[in-house]
Chain A
Amino acid sequence: MDASIVFAVVAGIIIIGFVGEFFFRKTSIPIFISLIITGIILGPVLNIFPRQSVIPVLAPVAELTLLLVLFSSGLSLKARVVIENGGRALVQAAIYIGLSSILIGSLGVFIMKWGVLPSFIFASMISGETTAALLVPLSKWMRISESVSSFLKIEAATNSILLVVLFFAFVQVYNSPGINLSTAFNGVASQFSVGIVVGAILSLTWVYTLYRFQKEKFTYILTLGLILITYAVATQLGGNGTLSVLVFGLVFGNYYLVNKLFRRQMNLDFLQNELGAFQQEISFLLTTLLFVFLGVAFVITPSHVVTNVSVALAILLILLTCRFVATRVSTFKSQLSTAKREILLMCAQGVTPATLAILAVSLQLPYADTFVNIVTYVIIMTNVITTAVAVASARKHKTEL
């Protein structure tokens, strides 16, 4: 394809993304839906980007997006804040993901007849994610209290991490055929432990490196290089690279603990702020492209539309039920219970399920095409629910005023 056409399409996607973001701030209608539809038009409808030619590009883009999302989540999870305010959010994430994974997995096994592992791989993509990219600005728009907003933020950062860990655990078991369950789980455990140990060792080195070079030019690109090398080294040593990048983010975000541990006086606040601004721009670009890719990877099979939409509706029902239970438990006897309804309906999914569904396609997992379609429907449906709540809440607020 001609370079100028490729650049024109990318420019168009960026402009749609920006307009969508602008529109989102005015109306609270999320950007994701318009991007997915753009992808469906560019891919399956007009065939400007044939699915087969895009698939090789999908894996690196999805992996990179995931790494940056997890790195950001790690950076934003400050141990002090989590310990002080995050207990209930962690309970919420654990119950919501745990329950919904079991129920969606069972749906796959008993109703869709996908088999145990594919069902739970699918469940780990779609269970219990909430997307910070949407919830943080929406909670401001809805004038939700600071404590609820902080609860939602910590929940969003935690659930992405849990889902990614679950997803890779199931994929690892799937990729080790013919071995018994305990050996498979040993394999998963060793992959995770290598990932964590390598991530921790490299992070300490990288934090010191960044401290040493923080006043130099090109520190963002250097950090990106360090993220990629952490992933590559951990993977080559047989560990989980994604997890080690998360550890890097956590250590970097909580560098003051490293100071205490090694009796140092490092200050990386300025660098963290600088990186944050750039990271936002790059994450915006990557997630914008990712949702368009999700649309491009969407397979239009008219005979399957009704089935897939029905499955998506069943999943939505499961998610709402589990979220209802999780919210009840996590807000029990707390100020948060006054905003129970808002917390319940702030269930919009986004980056993590989209990335994992795309990864499933590039990893050539069974039923991956069906997963992409159902995930797309679920993302759209959960976004519609959250938008409706946001609009209703804003109207109520205006009427009260």
Chain B
Amino acid sequence: MNVSVVFALIAGIIIIGFAGEFFFKKTGIPIFIFLIFTGIVLGPILNFFPRESLIPELSIFAELTLFMVLFYGGLGLNFSSVVLNGGRALVQTVIYVGISIILIGLVGIFVLNWNLLSSFIFASIIGGETTAAVVVPLSKSMKLSEGTITFLTLESAVNSIFSIVLFFAFVGIYTDGKAGWLSIVGGIGLQFSIGIALGAILSLVWVFALYRFQKQRFTYVLTVGFVLTTYSLSTVLGGNGTLAVLVFGIILGNYHLLKRIFKGQTSMDPLLKQLEKFQGEISFFLESLFFVFLGLTFIINPSLIVSNLSIGILILSILLATRFTAVRVSTFKSELNKERRQIMLMCAMGLTPATLSVLAVSLQLPLSDTFLNIVTYVIILTNVVTTVGSILNKRKQTQEYKGIKQTENWIAPENHS
């Protein structure tokens, strides 16, 4: 494709994304839903970008976007909030992923009449994921409390690990006929422990290196280089790269805590402020492109719209019901309880289900084409739900603001008189 057309498309996406920021401020409707539809129009409908040729590059781009967004999210998280809400986010993930996979698997067996393994492969593709690309920026823009932002960010980083490990475990059973629970639990444990340990070690190294180099030029690009190293090293060693990058971001963002441990005189606030600003710009750019790419991956089969949409709605109901339960349990007796509704509706899915369903097709698993079609609808529907959640939140905030204004107006004349 001509370079000028590619540049025009990228420019268009940037401008839509930028305009969307204003639109969001006014209406509470996040722009990502429009960007996804732009992708659907450019891809499945007009076929400007043939899907097959994009898939190999998409996986690299999706990985890059997810960990860059999580790094940005991590930079802004407060360490004590992470410690306070980390356990609850894990409980939320285990319940949401676990129960939704069981229920969707059962729907596959008893409603759709698929066999046991196919049903659970499908369930592991679609059960319990939330995408950082939506959750991290949207929770910040919606001005949710610090605890809720931390909770949602951690959940979005962790749930993909469960989905991916379970997917490969079920595929392993399908291809080799073996894979025990031990290997599933071991796989998840390994991804967590290596990811967290490596992220922590490399970020400590980086905090001191950054302190040493803070007066040099190009510290932002070098930090990105180190983030890429963290991701790659963690993945190569069997850990979860995305989680490692999140941990890296959290420790870098909370570097001041290291003063106590190392008794140093490290003060890098202006540098970190600038890093966060730059990272915000880059994350915004990557997210905007990501949503369009997400739309490009969809498959719309006109003859199956009604049946796939019905199955999609059924799965969405299961996901929402499960998420309701998971949120109830995980926010029990906590400050998070106040924003339960927002947490529940923040269920937008992203590229993990899309990538796993494409992988199912390339592995030639039975029913994989059907999986791909249904996954498309579920991703769209969950994003619509999150959009509705955002609009409701905006309305609530506006009403609260009006309420405060009215009270002020009511009190002011009285005081005056």
Contact = CB atoms under 8 A, between A and B. Distances in A.
Nearest to A10: B228
A59 interface: yes
Interface residues of A, number: 45
A8 B228 contact: yes
B232 A232 contact: no
B259 to A, nearest CB: 26
A4 B4 contact: no
A211 to B, nearest CB: 15
A303 B185 CA distance: 59
Nearest to B18: A222
Nearest to B225: A14
Interface in B158-196: none
Interface string B198-234: 0000000000000001001110111011101101110
B225 A241 contact: no
Interface stretch (A212-220, A324-332, A348-356): A212-220
A95 B62 CA distance: 50
A235 B233 CA distance: 42
A229 interface: yes
Interface string A220-238: 1110111111011101100
Interface stretch (A34-42, A275-283, A308-316): A275-283
B320 interface: no
Nearest to A236: B4
B59 interface: yes
A281 B220 contact: yes
A284 B241 CA distance: 26
A63 interface: yes
A231 B232 contact: no
A63 B3 contact: yes
B401 interface: no
Given A3-B63, A218-B281, A21 B5 contact: no
Interface string B244-280: 0000000000000000000000000000001000101
In the A-B complex, the 4 residue pairs with the closest CB atoms: A14-B225, A225-B14, A232-B8, A11-B228
Interface of A: 3-8, 10-11, 14-15, 17-18, 21-22, 59-60, 63-64, 213, 216-218, 220-222, 224-229, 231-233, 235-236, 241, 277-278, 280-282, 284-285, 288
Given A60-B7, A280-B217, 12 more contacts: A3-B60, A8-B229, A11-B226, A21-B216, A221-B18, A221-B284, A222-B14, A225-B15, A225-B18, A231-B7, A232-B4, A285-B224
11 contacts: A4-B231, A7-B232, A11-B232, A17-B218, A18-B216, A216-B21, A221-B17, A232-B7, A235-B4, A284-B217, A288-B221
